[in-house]
Amino acid sequence: MKKFIVKITAAGAILACFAYCTSTKNATGNAATSLKDAYKKDFLIGTALNTQQIEEKDAKAAALIPLQFNAITPENIMKAEIIHPQWDQYNFDLADKIVAYGAKHNIKVNGHTLIWHSQLPQFARRIKDVDSFKTFFTNHINTVAGRYSGKIFSWDVVNEALNEDGTMRKSIFLDKMGDGFVTEAFRLAAIASPNTELYYNDYNNEQPKKREGCLALVKKVQAAGVRIDGVGIQGHWHLGRVPLKDIEESILAYHALGLKVMITELDIEMLPRNFQGADVNQRQASNPALNPYANGIPDSLLQQQATDYANLFKLFLKHKDKITRVTFWGVNDGQSWLNGWPVPGRTNYPLLFDRAFNPKPAYHSVMALKK
């Protein structure tokens, strides 16, 4: 009995400590102990989950995620190469698990993503014939969106269809179906999953030229009488260079088309690289100079990051009537994709929690806005 009490007390102490270490006050004056609680009246706060996290194999992540976040996006496992590896074969195992995870913890699930030129299965890349490609496209959306109809909150229906100058990206979809493939994807998704919110998602679509292309794309879908509910701005930004003005102009421009706006893959990268954007096919060779903080990062940079995140969240709060969700692309720094991309094997620090799941200065600066 004594042992049992000690255990309970220890667990309670850890929770109490976490609550104390991360606390701030919410709008009602009560202590808010989490991001989702602090921003409850403003927008959802999400994170991307990897397989370990979906399967709750990572004990610290399993404790932190439901405490801090009320929205989740699978980082990879709903992408076509995993969920639809062969023409007539679907692999729903992990996707079903994230849906069950969301239901269990009362967390909204955003499906990511139905139509994307990257992480496509080999068989789809090899389809030569136009009609067969259209059949693949239709079957994919009907089957995947149909399965989760009523079970997930939203879909990134089309991901990254645009070039930086706002023109349509050259892809197998454009090649086989022409630029109407975007409208067609939304048309099929709206039928397969009538009660799910449907979004177009991209990186750099806050930049003026790409934004113009994105607005034109959305207008085309709308002009066809097809439902599109929102635009996701991925939000892979860089330390000291967060484009606040472009972001604000984009929030206003997308909202003016009657769309919801969400920040879908937020991170603030701390390491150097020689290009901007988040094209997963673009890489840079490894070099020790590109990995300067392998043994720890100076506090001054963490403070700069805290300021960057605070400025961003101030902007999001200013437009909380237009923004429905802000999702971070990962739970903690050690799990971020930016440790492996665009340069392999680096030590990056882009998120609000450090490698030991402790809140960073950026966490506190985001929470402090709600005091």
Catalytic (active-site) positions = 265
Give the x/- contact pattern for ligand XIL in 290-329, rule: CB under 6 A: ----------------------------------------
Give yes or no for residue 337 binding ligand XIL (CB under 6 A): yes
Would you state the structure tokens that stand for residue 352, as one six-digit string?
């609000």
Interatomic CA distance for residues 232 and 138, integer angstroms: 23
Neighbouring CB atoms inside 10 A of 6's CB total 10
Interatomic CA distance for residues 73 and 57, integer angstroms: 17
Cα dihedral 155, 82, 85, 171 in deg (nearest 10): 60
Give the x/- contact pattern for ligand XIL in 229-248, rule: CB under 6 A: -----x--------------
Shortest Å distance, C-beta 217 to ligand XIL: 16
Shortest Å distance, C-beta 341 to ligand XIL: 7
Nearer to ligand XIL by C-beta: 44 or 233? 233
Residues 167-226 that bind ligand XIL (CB under 6 A): none
Give yes or no for residue 75 binding ligand XIL (CB under 6 A): yes
Residues 340-369 that bind ligand XIL (CB under 6 A): none
Q: Which of 24, 33, 159, 347 binds ligand XIL (CB under 6 A)?
A: 159
Count of residues that interact with ligand XIL, criterion CB under 6 A = 8
Helix (H) or strand (E) holding 202: strand 197-202
Residues 6+ apart with CB under 8 A from 356: 60, 332
Shortest Å distance, C-beta 293 to ligand XIL: 20
Q: Which of 58, 206, 265, 333 binds ligand XIL (CB under 6 A)?
A: 265
Shortest Å distance, C-beta 112 to ligand XIL: 6
Give yes or no for residue 76 binding ligand XIL (CB under 6 A): yes
Shortest Å distance, C-beta 345 to ligand XIL: 14
Residues 6+ apart with CB under 8 A from 172: 117, 120, 124, 125, 133
Answer for the pair 24, 368: CB distance below 8 angstroms, yes or no: yes
Neighbouring CB atoms inside 10 A of 167's CB total 14
Shortest Å distance, C-beta 29 to ligand XIL: 38
Residue nearest to ligand XIL (CB): 337
Interatomic CA distance for residues 14 and 332, integer angstroms: 19
C-alpha distances (whole Å) from 292 to each of 5, 16, 68, 107, 295 are: 46, 36, 30, 37, 8
Give yes or no for residue 280 binding ligand XIL (CB under 6 A): yes
Answer for the pair 306, 365: CB distance below 8 angstroms, yes or no: yes
Q: Residue numbers of the site for ligand XIL (CB under 6 A)? A: 75-76, 159, 234, 265, 278, 280, 337
